[in-house]
Amino acid sequence: MSDFDTTLTNLGITRYNGSTTSSSGTTLNNTTDTSKTGTTDMGVSDFLSLMTAQLKNQDPFAPVDNTQMVAQMAQFSSLSGITEMSSTLKTIAGQLGTSTLNDAIGYVGKNVLVQGSTAYPRTSGGLAGAVALEADAKDVTVTIKDQNGNTLKTIEMGKETSGAVAWDWDGKTDAGEDAGAGPFNVSVTATDGTGNVKAYPLVWAPVTAVAMGSDGKPTLTLPGIGNVSTDAVWQVG
């Protein structure tokens, strides 16, 4: 039995052979309405039409129970409220998505600190970055190479605690020469005296564009790194 037929039964109306009768046996409709063929949902207007028909054709010696009528009306009122609430929440979600994208546009033109291995020098020269450590380490080393894999600079940071640890390079190689305009490849290693500590490099990169990702979250376009979520940004500078 469909939801439509169930509602008819609750109202004391029985439908058969395309006709609808009241509990008193009076035929309410001898014409089959095919405009809603295949429809299983029943709207408020349908309910009011049925309730009006039931009131018109009720048995005067056995009138419709007021309690059942009020209960049915309360159910439809709740359903209508839930439907409106769902529509409102969808509208709010859409507005929040637009707001999030608009907020992310503010990143364009700024530098962000994110996980990555490709880094470009500052306009003033040199390079800055950080090391993300998942645990305390006794020995942390940052290695900077050129695009051909040649080591330009090795930075010994020594003992560091877990978290993001900043480092700065003046742009000079271990031999004291100018390292050039890059881009550079940055890698890190860390140990705790008995084994390796999980660590990865964080580099500064300029935001050139913003787009909405497939997950509904805005992504930032960074040269040499690609697209990253705003959730992956450690710092904005």
Q: pLDDT at position 141, please?
A: 92
Q: Give the number of other Cβ atoms within 10 Å of residue 9's Cβ.
A: 12
Q: pLDDT at position 20, please?
A: 45
For the domain spanning 111-236, the CATH number is 2.60.40.4070
Q: pLDDT at position 59, please?
A: 65
- Count of helices and strands (H, E) across the chain: 3, 15
**Residues 172-231: tens digit of each pLDDT:** 988 888 888 888 999 999 998 888 999 999 998 888 888 877 767 788 888 888 888 888
For the chain, the domains span 3-78, 111-236
Q: pLDDT at position 142, please?
A: 93
Is residue 186 exposed (0-12), middle (13-18) or buried (19+ Cβ within 10 Å)?
buried
Q: pLDDT at position 151, please?
A: 92
- Regions in the chain scoring below 70 on pLDDT: 1-47, 51, 54-55, 58-81, 83-84, 87-101, 215
H helix or E strand, kind and range, residue 209: strand 209-212
State how far the Cα of 224 lies from the Cα of 184, in Å rounded to an integer: 10
